[in-house]
Each structure stands twice: as C-alpha cells, then as structure tokens.
Amino acid sequence: MAELYQSGRIIDIALAVIVLEFLVLTALSRKPNSGFAVRDFTFTLLSGAGLLIALRLFVTGADWTWIAVSLCAAGAAHVCDVLRILRR
C-alpha cells in the first residue's frame, strides 16, 4: 500500500476519477432539463486536477518549475471559476 502512495499512483487514480466525473457530468448535462451546463463544473474540475498534478509532480521528485506551472494553472482555473460564479 505504501508503494501506491510513494509512487504517486494513488494520485493517478484520483485524476482518473476526475476525468470519469467530467465525462459523466458532461453526458448528464446534455439531457434536456438537466439544470446545469458543462461550464458549471469545468473550471472546478480543472483546478482540482491542477492541484493533483502538482502533488504528483512533487511526490515523484519533479523539477520545481513544473510544480509551479501546475499550481499556476490550478490557480487560473480557480479564478475563472470564482469569476463565473460572481457573474451570476
């Protein structure tokens, strides 16, 4: 079990769950009268994925610049999500 965490594979599983969640929510949002659209959850999932990618890079010993890029992407997605919510 420790290998699953130390190798970062647990994070890969979490990222796969986010991709699956995106696909399911996208399919559900296309149904008539679903009440939500793809734009309602895309930036939220992207910011979470960016944080998980940064964590994966850190756990596997990647160069700090890639970690910073991932954190900046997560932050940008979060800002877009907050702005989308505030514009409602």
Q: Tens digits of per-residue pLDDT, 9-28?
A: 999 999 999 999 999 999 99
Rounded to a whole number, what is the distance in angstroms from the first to the last CA of the chain?
44
Contact (Cβ atoms closer than 8 angstroms) between residue 85 and residue 37: no
Count of structural domains within the chain: 1
Please tell me the least confidently modeled range out of 2-6, 43-47, 58-62, 76-80. 2-6
Note the pLDDT tens digit of each residue in 16-60: 999 999 999 999 988 888 777 888 899 999 999 999 999 999 999
- Structural domain for 51, as ranges: 2-86
User: What pLDDT score does 80 carry?
Assistant: 96
Residue where the block lists tokens 């699956």: 20
pLDDT at 62 over 90: yes
Describe the crossing of helices 9-29 and 42-59 by its angle, rounded to 10 degrees: 170
What's the pTM value of the predicted model, to 2 decimals?
Answer: 0.88
